[in-house]
Amino acid sequence: MAILVTGGAGYIGSHTVVELQNRGYDVVVIDNLQNSSEKVLGRVEAITGKKVPFCLTDIRDRIGLEEVFSKYEIDSVIHFAGLKAVGESVAKPWEYYENNIGGTLVLLDVMRRHGVKDIIFSSSATVYGDPLEIPITENCPKQPCTNPYGWTKSMLEQIMTDIQAADPEWNVVLLRYFNPIGAHESGTIGENPNGIPNNLMPYITQVAVGKREILNIFGNDYDTPDGTCIRDYIHVVDLALGHVAAIKKLQENPGLFVCNLGTGIGYSVLDVVNAFMEANNLTIPYRFAPRRPGDVPVNYSDPSKALREMGWKTQFDLRKMCADSWNWQKNNPNGYED
């Protein structure tokens, strides 16, 4: 039996495949490679010493998916595939709803036709909007989202919740990720954004490697100790291990299970920049710029449910996240391109 990993060539997916294979799980990856490279899978194979079965398939392609489910004995799905750029989603809402929601509806239908009713879904802390409590527990009410990307996560959570309620044979694990950064410590796989990075850590590493001149820090007048926004940065390997814990959780037939994956510690943008400089003995030029629309001032998790119910907690601190992000970037200044 194998775990189908959709979007398994992407940033979080590839790290999760490594941790699954290292623990003896069989996986099958599907990805349409629209935001990734097949080379990732060769790198994963080099780390784990195992072959990664790969199907170049789009989750919106029903026939392609049917073939995958017929060819392999799939017993559960970890569903990463999706578009994830917040700003782009504002400019291209149709594309985001069609890919993320349309694609997931096809996937869920093909799954049930093949009697596969166990799914782990990549959700996001974005569903908490401007959170009503800090730290954020899973009981914190969801808020209206500020962009179509966030809505796709929020709506897909609802869709899967309704499907599970209608058919209790389903086990649906909704994992709400906080801010994944870092890379595998080999430095051979990592985050590889197209064009100008939207997210903080890839922007910092691109400044460090000389691809960008200066980091803009969006806002230093928030009501936080140093005026910059606070987030819960989590090492991508810890996040990957959260999926291994979730796979074990599925064996308990939890029905619907919603869980935060974060460290529980909030760091400001300046904390991250300073930690990066210290960990790597580098200087990152930065300047303060206007606030970025849609940013919430403070967002960090209460991760105690994950510990209580899955026995999972994070291991890696901010320094390690910064060191591993840089190790990846400096060894691969152009990502997976030669």
Active site residues: 149
Residues at the contact surface with ligand NAD, assessed by CB under 6 A: 7, 9-13, 31-36, 58-60, 80-84, 99, 103, 122, 124, 177, 179-180
Find tokens 């709400």 and name the residue. 176
Angle at 212 between CA 207 and CA 218, to 5 degrees: 80
Residues 210 to 229: which contact ligand UFG by CB under 6 A?
A: 215-218, 229
Map the footprint of ligand UFG across residues 261-290, applying CB under 6 A: 269
Type of residue at 196: I
Q: Which residue's beta carbon is nearest to the bound ligand NAD?
A: 10
Q: Does 84 bind ligand UFG (CB under 6 A)?
A: yes
CA dihedral 311→50→251→185, nearest 10 degrees, is 20
Contact criterion met (CB below 8 Å) for 79 and 105: no
Find the shortest distance in angstroms from Cβ 304 to ligand NAD.
20
With binding defined as CB under 6 A, does residue 295 bind ligand UFG?
yes
Which is nearer to ligand UFG, 128 or 170 (by Cβ)? 128
What number of chain residues touch ligand UFG (CB under 6 A)?
21
Among 14, 124, 154, 260, binds ligand UFG (CB under 6 A): 124
Residue 290 near residue 229, CB atoms below 8 Å? no
Which stretch in 28-36, 50-58, 68-76, 118-126 sits in contact with ligand UFG by CB under 6 A?
118-126
Site string for ligand UFG, 20-59 (x = CB under 6 A): ----------------------------------------
Instruction: Choose among ligand UFG, ligand NAD, none what residue 12 binds, the Cβ cut-off being 5 to 8 Å by kind.
Output: ligand NAD
CB count in 10 Å sphere of residue 165: 12
User: Least separation, in Å, of the C-beta of 283 and ligand NAD?
Assistant: 26
CB of 313 to ligand UFG, least distance (A): 19
Handedness of CA 61, 67, 71, 72 (dihedral sign): positive
Dihedral of the alpha carbons of 9, 12, 18, 24, in degrees to the nearest 10: -100
Verify binding: residue 231, ligand UFG, rule CB under 6 A: yes
Q: How far is the CB of 326 from ligand NAD (least distance, A)?
A: 18
> How many other C-beta atoms are found inside a 10 Å radius of the C-beta of residue 209?
15
- Residue 126 DSSP one-character state: G
Whole-angstrom Cα Rg for the chain = 19
* DSSP assignment letter at 84: -
